[in-house]
Amino acid sequence: MPAMDSPAGPFPVSLDIAVAWGEMDAYQHVNNTVYLRWCESARIVYFARTGLLSRKDQEGVGPILARQSIDYRRPVSYPDTVRVGVGVTRIGGSSFTMGYSVYSLAQQAEVASADSVIVLLDYRAGRSTPVDAALRAAIEELEGRAV
Amino acid sequence: MPAMDSPAGPFPVSLDIAVAWGEMDAYQHVNNTVYLRWCESARIVYFARTGLLSRKDQEGVGPILARQSIDYRRPVSYPDTVRVGVGVTRIGGSSFTMGYSVYSLAQQAEVASADSVIVLLDYRAGRSTPVDAALRAAIEELEGRAV
Amino acid sequence: MPAMDSPAGPFPVSLDIAVAWGEMDAYQHVNNTVYLRWCESARIVYFARTGLLSRKDQEGVGPILARQSIDYRRPVSYPDTVRVGVGVTRIGGSSFTMGYSVYSLAQQAEVASADSVIVLLDYRAGRSTPVDAALRAAIEELEGRAV
Amino acid sequence: MPAMDSPAGPFPVSLDIAVAWGEMDAYQHVNNTVYLRWCESARIVYFARTGLLSRKDQEGVGPILARQSIDYRRPVSYPDTVRVGVGVTRIGGSSFTMGYSVYSLAQQAEVASADSVIVLLDYRAGRSTPVDAALRAAIEELEGRAV
């Protein structure tokens, strides 16, 4: 697990993403929605590593984004690469909370932090379903600690 | 069918789309990829009207984009609404060609024209499949002429 | 001002936006980032109506998004049109908070609600600047009440 | 210069771009517009290497996309990385043509090829301007041959 002061922060999974020129908007900074695409890309890597991404096809159980919040600390512009750290910070009954840190390699500074609440959904039944022991174990193994 | 000199050009289907501020890039004009999103949105309306959109789920036969080309005539900026005209200009063995005209209501001018080749794909067999009589009839009825 | 039970909620500005087919992702619902593009589009209309959009070019003072949070209540799919209501819910020293409600016309239900904190930035000085009397007056006129 | 049979084809500049999960559309393949974002990202690298990207701010002379065409050879899905090769294939009076090859590392196959016509624009005068000797020299040095 990275140390607290690493670019990815306290998070066990991190992903480097190159900023595309076309992601800047008319204010000549990367558009606010792109930061959430970055978080999504890191989240998908986390889901793949815990087996959650393939369970949707196999068992009809998958994650759904219920809520997210983001603090924009600094504008980002092209060229740059962002390092997105992601981890699970809390496990609830049928949901869990993920935290994100977005760090600019060009600026050598955190440019955003975010949180999201993921609900586990049984797509066939159309309702939420409990976080089972297998998923909890996969998350805790990835986190390297009890959550 | 609209007259040749209407904003939608000679095309039987047209769709008005509001320009989003966030679609402008750092050059402060709508990004080049957005014009093709507009064409796609008009194409989907056309597919829906000919029954092609629902056939993919029902029969496993659906359209796939094989080629497109676009001429950018004028930059577009927010605020504006574009009127996208679309039609089928040629029917081949297992493909057809669509034409598009993108007209800016703010500029009162055509800002782009485009063409695309659509191949009819049998998704189950993984290969192209002939344009059948029913699809040809639906297209010709929408076009108001033999194609 | 619309009544509390109108689709746009208690917000004075609303904008109807057609869902584009291409905004759906592999889960066959509109991608989470698109909801924030919708909020942005409504926010820009609000900025234009209070004169804030043109002040950036004229005076070098403009809005910057510092924080946002969003609750996703229901998935959205094509075809649909969303009605986005937006208003200012609080004015601080050099920032203000905006609220949003996203309502699906096809589902006849609110599909998301969101909040964002906007900081007023003096782009030349590179620091925040107080919400002045003129901006406050423009906001309160649009809201139809003291904020 | 890469050999003709390399993934980047005959092009002197290449850029590896990771596919984002969220770039897939409801057909569960990367959306057609994203391929053109990839070409744009490679084009911007090419522009930067020939000094064209900074000339817009310095001299008011910059590139504008006048036309593009693309052949989609294979669908792309997440996870994958595409290698985009780009080069200048022809220099005209006040324009030049760029070619692109998009190669999937996961599929080990070319998934698209594209061409675009770039016009050199004097943004202050609002009209096209000749490809000057310095730009031609920068392009030919990058290409490693007379164009």
Report the phi/psi class of residue D118: left, alpha or beta, with left for phi > 0 and alpha for psi in -120 to 50: beta
Q: Which tokens hold the place of D84?
A: 């985009």
* Average pLDDT over every residue of B8-29: 94
Which residue, C49, C37, C40, C41, is CA-closest to C12? C49
- The candidate with the shortest Cα–Cα distance to C135, out of C71, C49, C64, C74, is C49
| Residue labelled with tokens 């595409």 | D82
pLDDT at C114 over 90: yes
Q: How far is B17 from chain A (nearest CA, A)?
A: 19
D22 contacts on A by Cβ (under 8 Å): 37, 40-41, 44
pLDDT at A3: 42
Provide the pLDDT for residue C8: 67
Distance between CA atoms of residues A22 and B104, nearest Å:
22
Q: Which of D19, D21, D28, D49 would best serve as a mutation to test chain A binding (most A beta carbons within 10 A)?
A: D21
Residue A16's pLDDT is: 98
Q: Nearest CA of chain D to the CA of C126: how many Å? A: 21
Which of C23, C52, C70, C119 to substitute to test the interface with A, most A CBs within 10 Å?
A: C70
Rg of chain D over Cα atoms, rounded to whole angstroms, equals 16
Residue of D nearest to A40 (CA): D22
* Residue-level pLDDT at D1: 39
Q: Is B37 on the interface with C (CB under 8 A)?
A: yes
On chain C, the residues whose CB falls within 8 A of the CB of A62 are: 27
- Mean pLDDT, chain B, whole residue set: 93
CB < 8 Å to D21, chain A: 40-41, 44
Residues D141, D38, B41: CA angle, nearest 5 degrees: 140
3-state SS class at B12: coil
Q: How far apart are CA D117 and CA D63, in angstroms?
A: 10
Half-sphere exposure of B125 toward its Cβ, with a 13 Å CA cutoff? 10
Helix, strand or coil for residue B107? Answer: coil
Q: Is the pLDDT of residue B1 over 80?
A: no
Q: Is B24 near chain A, with CB under 8 Å?
A: yes
Helices (H), A50-79: 52-59
pLDDT in tens, A115-145: 999 999 998 888 999 999 999 999 999 999 9
Interface contact B69-D65, CB threshold 8 A = no
Q: What is the pLDDT of residue C3?
A: 41
Between residues 58 and 97 of chain C, which touch chain D (CB distance below 8 Å)?
78
The answer to whether A22 faces chain D, any CB pair under 8 Å, is: yes
Q: C44 to chain B nearest CA, in Å?
A: 7
Any chain C CB within 8 A of the CB of A122? no
Q: A28 CB near a chain C CB, below 8 Å? A: no
Model pLDDT, residue D2: 42
Q: What gap in Å lies between CA C55 and CA B71, rounded to an integer?
A: 34
Q: Enumerate the β-bridge partners of residue B118.
A: B65, B96
Res A8: pLDDT: 67
Question: How many angstroms separate the CA of residue C36 from the nearest CA in chain D?
Answer: 14
The DSSP result for A1-60, as a single string, is ---TTSTTTT-SEEEEEEPPGGGB-TTSSB-HHHHHHHHHHHHHHHHHHTTHHHHHHHHS
**How many Å apart are CA B55 and CA B69, to the nearest integer?**
26
Give the confidence band of D8 by pLDDT, cuts at 50, 70, 90. low
- Residue from B33, B56, B113, B121 to probe the interface with D (highest D Cβ count within 10 Å): B33
Strands (E), C1-147: 13-18, 61-72, 81-91, 95-104, 109-122, 127-128
Considering only the beta carbons, identify the residue of D20, D41, D78 that sits closest to A37.
D20
Any idea which residue has 């609303």 for tokens?
C14
ipTM over 0.85: yes
Distance from CA of A37 to the nearest CA of B (A): 15
Nearest CB to B33; choose among D27, D33, D62: D33
Q: Which residues of chain A have a pLDDT value below 70?
A: 1-8
| Residues of B whose CB is below 8 A from A24 | 25-26
H or E segment to which residue A62 belongs: strand A61-72
pLDDT band at C6 (very low <50, low <70, confident <90, very high): low
Instruction: Give the nearest partner residue to D22 out of A18, A41, A78, using CB atoms.
Output: A41
- Give the span between the Cα atoms of B16 and D120, in whole angstroms: 31
Torsion (CA) B117, B118, B119, B123 in degrees, nearest 10: 150
Report the gap between the CA of A79 and the closest CA in chain D (Å).
Answer: 10
Q: Please write the tens of the pLDDT for every residue from C48-90.
A: 999 998 887 788 899 999 999 999 999 999 999 999 999 999 9
Are the CB atoms for A8 and A83 separated by under 8 Å? yes
Task: Report the candidate in B41, B70, B37, B66 with the shortest Cα–Cα distance to residue B53.
Answer: B41
Helix (H) or strand (E) holding B45: helix B32-49
- CB D135 within 8 Å of CB D142: no
Residue B6 is predicted with a pLDDT of 59
Q: pLDDT, tens digit, for every residue of B74-109?
A: 999 999 999 999 999 999 999 999 999 999 999 999
Is pLDDT above 70 for C39? Answer: yes
The pLDDT > 70 percentage for chain C reads 94
Nearest to D43 by CA among A20, A18, B112, B30: A20
- Count, in order, helices (H) and strands (E) of chain D: 3, 6
Does C37 contact A at CB distance below 8 Å? Answer: yes
Please state the pTM of the whole predicted model: 0.95
* Cα separation of the two ends of chain C: 14
CB atoms within 10 A of CB A103: 22
